[in-house]
Amino acid sequence: MSRLALFAIALTCLFAVTTGAQETQSDIQPNGQKAPATEVSGKPAPAPVAMTAREAAEMRADILMARKEYSAAIGAYAQIVAKEPKNAALLNKIGVAYQQLGELNHAGRFYKNSMKANRLFASAVNNLGTVEYEKNHFGKAINLYKKALTLPIDHATIYSNLGYAYFGNKEYPQAMDSFSAALAIDPQIFERRGGGGTIVQQRTTTDPGLFYFFVAKSYARAGDAERAAHYLKLARDDDYKDFLSAQKDPAFAKVIKDPRVQEVLQIPPSYATDDKKPASN
């Protein structure tokens, strides 16, 4: 797609955002017709705000990111950063693009530059933590996530990431506490999908079966039987050896009698079935 086409898309997106309005009951006239859009509560509707060339340039880069054209996005952001070398948000975006490309060293460098530009820029602190996590530097990741928790940011994501790091470091009680804290803020934190945005959420783990079991325990503690059963099933299907320990685990007390949980527990894991197969001659 040409630069001109991308610019047209950017202008269209901004126009939709600045001119769109929700339809409410007060927008409907007695005859069923929509009220004229030129007035709201008797006041003239505000005119659309024009996009500056600088804003259009960042919008084009954001569109490239959304389309997963990360190398092109890096180039687009870099053109702006050349004039704004201390723009923490843009430096962080470049770091995210590099991380999506799997270039962790470059990503880490831009996250650090973002933090130098603004030491309170929480997204960069979290994102650097995810880089350290992917390098198996779990202790460094834990420290960065703890720092991020002291800053204004999406704490559900940070607690989730912190739980992953504790889990990777085999500090299981701390991992459980972090997962529970994340779920208390956002019960759907483990079900988010998509890699967009400027704050990175950790998704990979060192031991999937055990991880799913821990997530199931976290949901069980919160009394969410449906999600506890779902993740318990994932743990079972991933051949977690202590899967049936859920029957006596105090963490499952609130949901253990739920039919959905019981249904999962009644189906033996595949490794138990395999053990009963007769040996071949």
Q: What is the arithmetic mean of pLDDT over 235-243?
A: 87
pTM (2 d.p.): 0.74
Structure tokens belonging to residue 45 = 């509707």
40: pLDDT strictly greater than 60? no
The span from the CA of 28 to the CA of 42, in Å, is: 14
For the segment 148-155, the average pLDDT, to the nearest whole number, is: 90
pLDDT per residue as tens digits for the range 93-106 = 999 999 999 999 99
* Residue 46: predicted pLDDT: 64
Each residue's pLDDT tens digit, 162-188: 999 999 999 999 999 999 999 899 988
Q: What is the average pLDDT across 242-250? A: 88
pLDDT (0 to 100) of residue 152: 85
CA distance 148 to 200: 12
Distances in whole angstroms, Cα of residue 2 to Cα of each of 5, 9, 10, 60, 258: 5, 11, 12, 11, 56
Domains and CATH numbers, the chain: 51-119 (1.25.40.10), 123-203 (1.25.40.10), 208-267 (no CATH)
**For position 279, what pLDDT does the model report?**
41
Residue 33 predicted with pLDDT over 60: no
Residues ≥6 apart with Cβ < 8 Å to 155? 149, 181, 185
